[in-house]
Amino acid sequence: MSVQIEAYVILSAVLFILGAMGVLLRRNAILVFMSVELMLNAANLALVAFARQWNQMDGHIFVFFVMTVAAAEVAIGLALIVAIFRTKQSINLDELHQLEG
Amino acid sequence: MPEVSSAVSLTSVMLFIPIVGLIILLFLREDTQREAIKYSALATSLLTFAASVLLWLGFNTSQPGLQFAQRGEWITSLNISYYVGVDGLSLLLVMLTTFIMPLAILASFRTGVLEERGRQKLYYAFMLLLEFAMLGVFVAQDLFLFYIFWEVTLVPMYFLIGIWGAEQRIYAAVKFFLYTMAGSILMLLAVLFVGTQAGTFAVPDIIAGVQNGTINFPFDGIFSTQSFLFLGFLIAFAIKVPIWPLHSWLPDAHVQAPTAGSVILAGVLLKLGTYGIVRFCLPMFPEASVAWAPVVAALAVIGIIYGAWVSYAQTDVKKLVAYSSVSHLGFVVLGIFALNQQGIAGAILQMVNHGISTGGLFLMVGMLYERRHTKALNAFGGIWKVLPVFGGISLVITLSSMGLPGLNGFVGEFTILLGSFGSQYLGFFFTLFATIGVILAAVYMLYMFQKVFMGELDKEENKNLPALHWQELAVLVPIVILIFWIGLQPGVFFSSMDASVNQLVTQVTDVAASVALR
Amino acid sequence: MFEIPTLEALNLAPALPAISLAFGVCVLLLLDLLVVPKDRKEITAWLALAGIGVSFVLNLAVFNQTADAFLGMFVADQFSGFLNIVILVGAAISILLSMDYLKRTQIERGEYYSLMLMSVSGMMFMASANDLVMVFIALELLSIPLYVLAAFRAPEAKSEESGMKYFILGAFSSAFFVYGAALIYGATGTTNLPAIFQAVTAIVAAGGSPMFLLLVGAGLLLVGLGFKVAVVPFHMWTPDVYEGAPTPVTAFMSVGAKAGGFAALLRILAVALPSFVLADGQTTAAWQQLAWLVSAATLILGNIVAIAQSDIKRMLAYSSIAHAGYIFMAVAAAGTQGMADAAVQAALLYLLAYTFTNLGAFGVAMAVEKDDGAGTRLDDFIGLAKTRPDLALMMALFMLSLTGIPLTSGFLGKFVVFKATLDAGLVPLAVIGVVTSVISAFYYVRVIVNMYLREGEGDPAAGATRYVNWGVYAAAAGTLIMGVFPVVVTNLTDAVTLAATVIR
């Protein structure tokens, strides 16, 4: 007897919520960024689980796309973080207040 | 409905003459060709006037429907067409517009503020754009087209006040813009709703549909779909008129606007509102019109008294004339909501009268201002002794404005009062209070005239005022002629609208009566 | 179990406009690196414009057909055809606006144009995406270059901050989108939009636990796309990002990203979820209530906060939030049965109108902006009518168009959107729409007041170089033509239907 599909979905939901809270609560750019990755991976877990349930390839393929795109985001995101660190010597998001509001 | 030709009609020709003039103007150079700019603007407006005279001459007074109509395709997918034409309701107002515009432009030639602030090309371009838009409002027979012209009138007037106005001009311009826009955008919703329900935006088609029952805006009391549509239109018009208590933009706009701006504002722009009520509110929503008639008429009467009262309290000539507009336009609204032949015909004639006489009063104030650079009542006194010709002309205009028999104002006001008295929806009390307004008008008008022209010539500055320039005379004389002509031969003017007004009254009362029977 | 599809089966022809652009990006990168000399980067700009031209022509060739490519993941129809026009025109004007700006602010680098084209191709894929996977990829292709472009003025702190904020919220919203897509996949077993529609219909009839997945999934999808198009409550990034990014990027972002986001939103809602929880006897979809609220909140907040702004870029940022609210009115209208096509047509018209007007407004703002990024206060417009009457006149036109005064494109947009809203029976929303339009007049008119009515020195508008002028003139022409001869565009949008999309 394998694990029920619900278990995977609930786990993924927990991961997703953790990730979302991380984005909203953390102030360190790297940690925020990792939280976003956690959200994406929560989605990946759900996709794989559902693909298994439907016995299809579609979900798996979607996961590959998500991973690829996440990699591209990492490249851009880290580059931005490095650039900001060079100008401000900090990656604390609270210190980004050049723009009013 | 008979098919309307899509061939170019005289109405369209007249409508687009100002635009042609505007384009020519754009190619003239501000710094080197200032005279050419002035005179080409004047020539354009005179040409437009000539075209409207052709309309007048070719107009068949026995036919109630649209004449010189043209209907072309425009936005077919939304059932919107380019549909223009004139009938008895709009002919006189078209004439009024084309008559006032050359005078306003000519009066601008001798306005100091134009020399001072410059940008004359822009000024005359806005004047012509304004003429185009105002004529468009009067001839448009498609709700969408009408709405476009209606909104476009806002823009040039806003700039005229804002750039060439007096000290508080920015405040007045913005107030004018926001007030009128607030009203008209509510109307946009009503326009959309009517167009969607009716499946067409063509006003004659909608009216015909309402008459034969194929288009039905549900009505069951003063708070029903039809009433809300009626109010959507009415509030926009009421702000423009302005009907008390929506008038507070008017004194600011008038006082701050340059002379020509005030003349056009009082002469034509305010009539867009009263015309809109006659053209759209009454025939499209007859039951609601009947149901709301006493309410609107009551506001109109309050406006008559209030306007007169506040006028009397003013110390600034221009403000006095501005508030008198609130009072005079109250008569027009009262006449419209009498919903009978006399009331509406009187109201339309009174629109013209008010345009001529109040336009004349603003010209008079403007000429005084050019000479004395003040508008305070107590700065004047005894001007008659220095400027007898100007004083005489001003007397005629003042008397016309207060409704002296034999002059134009009397004919309009008297007909309206008759209509209101004989109306089955209004009656004695409305007429009584309106009559009090007539008396008050005499009080504040004579008060003004006496303060400015009569009395001792006791102020040094007033002793050497320059006499009227021939251009100023050329502006005032046509006004005086028209004042006498309408006053002595009102039949000519009434006959041009009788058929259309008659049809309108039938449209409203028939439908309303059938509701009463139901 | 798996066959490699042949090239014929992929049927790439309908996707050529988008593919050609993606291919063009690669060519442009290489050419810029190897051929174009370092001090002549405007050549790259012209090459980019040529690429847009090629794509435009290809788009006209496939315009009036409905065909699918990539095995049903991609569909070319009038909807995507029209949106492609919007996007390409917007991109072309943005490039014109960028050329001199980059030079005078000393950030002229060839990648700029490649990044822009990449984003444009993402928008075009977005307009045609017929599958959640495709929507996701297009969304990222659209967004990632924009993160870089927003920070293009690095090492200037404002620009970097803008890029960072945009990036974090963009990534955050993509995560929502993906998770929503995953749940919808879980409920329906497919990611193809028309197939989702069929599955949803079955699920609604049967009820049960997939219903819950579907609700949450659809909600998360909307959150993800809501961030992209900047509607309340997902709007807070907009003013900061718009203010900090280089102005031509802001201009491009405000129209392109919005067009892309609404393309996906409309297609998902109108194709995949039109009957969502449409039980017996009901004529409105369940998400209509939500869309209604979002639209109303966006209209009110965007318009009211815009009044308080003193910086033109921030003012236009809030104004763009407000305009997202107007387009969202059409989205809400699409939730009434039988209204989908009319609402989609209205939204398309609005998008095109907004594209012209907003690009023009940003163009004039750029002309007044100084080389160091100063000169974006509203007060910097004082006296512009004296120094540059042509620019002032056009700015006035754009402001009137954004307010919705007739004879401009903005009026046409508002007219059709309000009409759709009324037809859909959403009278209160239409009332909110018109009331907020009046409120918007406050801050748009203020710009005109500054230019024409207030006395002052007048800015020389040194930024108004030749290409900026061209861009602004083009935008003004578009604004006027749409306002005076709407038939030109309504003929195109009238043909748009989303009902009969291909299912594989």
- End-to-end, the C-alpha distance of chain A in Å comes to 55
Distances (CA, A) of B217 to B18, B190, B210, B251, C422: 38, 12, 8, 37, 15
Average pLDDT over residues C58-77: 82
Pairwise CB contact (< 8 Å): B162 & C416? no
pLDDT of C501 above 70: no
Average pLDDT over residues C30-45: 83
CA-based nearest residue to B6, from B76, B54, B63: B76
C:262-281 residues touching chain B, CB 8 A cutoff: none
Q: Is C246 exposed, middle or buried (0-12, 13-18, 19+ CB in 10 A)?
A: buried
pLDDT of C381 above 70: yes
Pairwise CB contact (< 8 Å): C415 & B188? yes
Pairwise CB contact (< 8 Å): A36 & C168? yes
Average pLDDT over residues C292-301: 92
State both tokens at B345.
Answer: 């015909």
CB C371 within 8 A of CB C442: no
- End-to-end, the C-alpha distance of chain B in Å comes to 27
pLDDT of C122 above 90: yes
Q: Where are the domains of chain A?
A: 5-95
pLDDT score, position A63: 93
Going by pLDDT thresholds of 50, 70 and 90, the confidence category of residue C355 is: very high
CB atoms within 10 A of CB B170: 18
- Please report residues of A whose CB lies closer than 8 A to that of C132: 62
Of A43, A66, A76, the CB nearest to C144: A76
Of B75, B149, B158, the CB nearest to C486: B75
State both tokens at C186.
Answer: 């879980």
Q: Where are the domains of chain C?
A: 8-494
Q: Is C415 on the interface with B (CB under 8 A)?
A: yes
User: Which of A35, A62, A85, A88 to probe by mutation at the C interface, max C CB count within 10 Å?
Assistant: A62
Average pLDDT over residues C138-154: 91
CB B301 within 8 A of CB B295: no
pLDDT of C39 above 80: no
- Please report residues of A whose CB lies closer than 8 A to that of C213: 9
Task: Please tell me the total number of residues recorded for chain B in this structure.
Answer: 518
- Please report residues of C whose CB lies closer than 8 A to that of B155: 400, 405
Q: Is B166 on the interface with C (CB under 8 A)?
A: no
Q: Amino acid identity of B23? A: I
Q: Is C453 on the interface with B (CB under 8 A)?
A: yes
Chain C closest-CA separation from residue B156 CA (Å): 12
- Please report residues of A whose CB lies closer than 8 A to that of C190: 58
Q: Which residues are registered as beta bridge partners of B75?
A: B80
Q: Is C190 on the interface with A (CB under 8 A)?
A: yes
Report angle CA C134, C267, C286 to the nearest 5 degrees.
120
Instruction: Find where tokens 């701050």 sit.
Output: B256
Dihedral angle, C-alpha B309, B312, B313, B319, nearest 10 °: 100
Looking at CATH, the fold of the domain delimited by A5-95 is given as Helix Hairpins (1.10.287)
Chain C closest-CA separation from residue A89 CA (Å): 12
Chain A closest-CA separation from residue C193 CA (Å): 13
State both tokens at C132.
Answer: 């959640």
Dihedral (CA of C54, C57, C59, C65) sign: negative
- Please report residues of A whose CB lies closer than 8 A to that of C165: 96, 99
SS3 content of chain B, % helix, strand, coil (to 5): 75, 5, 20
Going by pLDDT thresholds of 50, 70 and 90, the confidence category of residue A44 is: very high
Report angle CA C98, C104, C110 to the nearest 5 degrees.
55
Going by pLDDT thresholds of 50, 70 and 90, the confidence category of residue A48 is: very high
The interface pTM score, or ipTM, of the predicted complex is: 0.94
Chains adjacent to A (≥3 CB pairs closer than 8 angstroms)? C
Q: Which residue of C has its CA nearest to B181?
A: C438
Task: Classify residue C425 as left (phi > 0), alpha (psi -120 to 50) or beta.
Answer: left
State both tokens at B463.
Answer: 């002793």
pLDDT score, position C323: 93
What is the interface size between A and C, counted as CB pairs within 8 Å?
Answer: 132
User: Distance between CA atoms of C128 and C58, rounded to whole angstroms?
Assistant: 15
Q: Is C130 on the interface with A (CB under 8 A)?
A: no
Distances (CA, A) of C341 to B261, C63, C110, C125: 46, 18, 41, 21
User: Which of B16, B29, B74, B75 to probe by mutation at the C interface, max C CB count within 10 Å?
Assistant: B75
What is the interface size between B and C, counted as CB pairs within 8 Å?
Answer: 78
pLDDT score, position C502: 44
Pairwise CB contact (< 8 Å): C438 & B181? yes
DSSP B216: -
Pairwise CB contact (< 8 Å): A62 & C185? yes
Chains adjacent to B (≥3 CB pairs closer than 8 angstroms)? C
Pairwise CB contact (< 8 Å): C160 & A93? no
Model pLDDT for residues C398-448, shown as the tens digit of each residue:
999 999 888 899 999 999 999 899 888 888 899 899 889 888 988 998 898
Q: Is C171 on the interface with A (CB under 8 A)?
A: yes
DSSP C76: E
Pairwise CB contact (< 8 Å): C164 & A80? yes
Q: Is C373 on the interface with A (CB under 8 A)?
A: no
User: Distance between CA atoms of C35 and C179, rounded to whole angstroms?
Assistant: 43
User: Distance between CA atoms of B275 and B277, rounded to whole angstroms?
Assistant: 5
- Please report residues of B whose CB lies closer than 8 A to that of C445: 158, 174, 177-178
- Please report residues of A whose CB lies closer than 8 A to that of C157: 87-88, 98
Q: Is C407 on the interface with B (CB under 8 A)?
A: yes
Dihedral angle, C-alpha C81, C85, C87, C93, nearest 10 °: 170
Instruction: Concatenate the DSSP letters of all residues of B233-294 into one string.
Output: HHHHHHHHTTPTTS-THHHHHHHHS-HHHHHHIIIIIHHHHHHHIIIIIHHHSHHHHHHHHH
Chain A closest-CA separation from residue C267 CA (Å): 19
Q: Which residue of C has its CA nearest to B74?
A: C487
Q: Is C177 exposed, middle or buried (0-12, 13-18, 19+ CB in 10 A)?
A: buried
Pairwise CB contact (< 8 Å): A16 & C179? yes
Pairwise CB contact (< 8 Å): A72 & C179? no
Task: Classify residue B258 as left (phi > 0), alpha (psi -120 to 50) or beta.
Answer: beta
Of A20, A50, A84, the CB nearest to C182: A50
State both tokens at B158.
Answer: 């806003």
State both tokens at A11.
Answer: 């786990």
Q: What is the pLDDT along chain B (518 residues), one digit of tens a residue?
A: 456 777 788 888 888 989 998 888 888 887 787 888 888 888 999 999 999 898 888 888 888 888 888 888 887 777 788 888 888 888 889 999 999 999 998 888 877 777 777 778 888 889 999 999 999 999 998 988 899 899 889 888 888 888 888 788 888 888 888 888 888 888 888 888 888 888 888 888 888 888 887 877 877 777 788 888 888 899 999 998 888 888 888 888 888 888 888 899 888 989 999 999 998 888 888 888 888 888 888 999 999 889 888 888 888 888 888 888 888 898 899 999 888 888 888 999 999 999 999 999 898 888 888 888 888 878 887 788 888 888 888 888 998 888 888 888 888 888 888 888 888 888 788 888 888 888 888 888 888 888 888 877 777 777 777 877 888 888 888 999 989 898 888 888 888 888 888 888 888 887 766 655 44
